[in-house]
Amino acid sequence: MSDFRQAFLAFSVARDVLRFGDFVTKAGRRTPYFFNAGLFNDGESLKRLGEFYAQALLASGTGCDQLFGPAYKGIPLASATAIALAGMGHNLPWSFNRKEAKDHGEGGSLVGAPLKGRVVIVDDVISAGTSVRESVETIIAHGARPAGVLIALDRMERGTGALSAVQEVRETYGIPVTAIATLDDVLAFIATSAELAKWRDAVAAYRAQYGAA
């Protein structure tokens, strides 16, 4: 596992973003882990999160001219990633959408740089894929090209069919999805921790029961 992935998971545990125990997902599945990116909720954690996103994007090799953050969660994530990339020598424009278009001022539903070239969508996770679909439609409508999706964690979990939400996005839109870490990374990470190793069997069993191939 890459160093930045291990550091990201350690940071997530330290911030209580990644927790282990007995939880129930929105789909009604009992799960031994829970990931809540909303708890990266102060300046220092957002700064570090942006750096992890930037490292993951650069490591992926995905060609990118611009970042797009879907409202609402994607807005701070795309901005933090853009700042981190600039600090690494990659100054990219970024923008985000409004949930409701403005009919005054600058108007429209897009804020920030005009969408041009290859655009990477930055979000926390992919669940139903609704946010990705809307983002792809927005990008194409503005004459740009969706180049990929960048997320914090790939749960690698099946939806209603055999594919995971991430796999469905890849198959539907033909674009790469890059995650800072995956559930397999989580398994590798907790196996090296004396404190967390007790959860490995439960997480592995969940992966076996609900995980996509």
Active site residues: 102, 104
Here the tokens at position 21 are: 């125990």
* Alpha-carbon gap, residue 118 to 132, rounded angstroms: 15
Query: What is the distance between the terminal CA atoms of the chain, rounded to a whole angstrom?
Result: 19
Q: For the CA atoms of the chain, what is the radius of gyration?
A: 17
* Alpha-carbon gap, residue 167 to 128, rounded angstroms: 11
Peptide bond into 33 cis (omega under 30): no
Q: Which residues of 54-68 are buried (b: 16+ CB within 10 A; e: fewer)?
A: bbbbbebebebbbbb
Here the tokens at position 197 are: 């190793």
Question: What 3-state DSSP class applies to 73?
Answer: coil
Angstrom CA distances, 17 to 135, 171, 173, 213, stand at 25, 29, 30, 26
Contact 113, 93 (CB under 8 A): yes
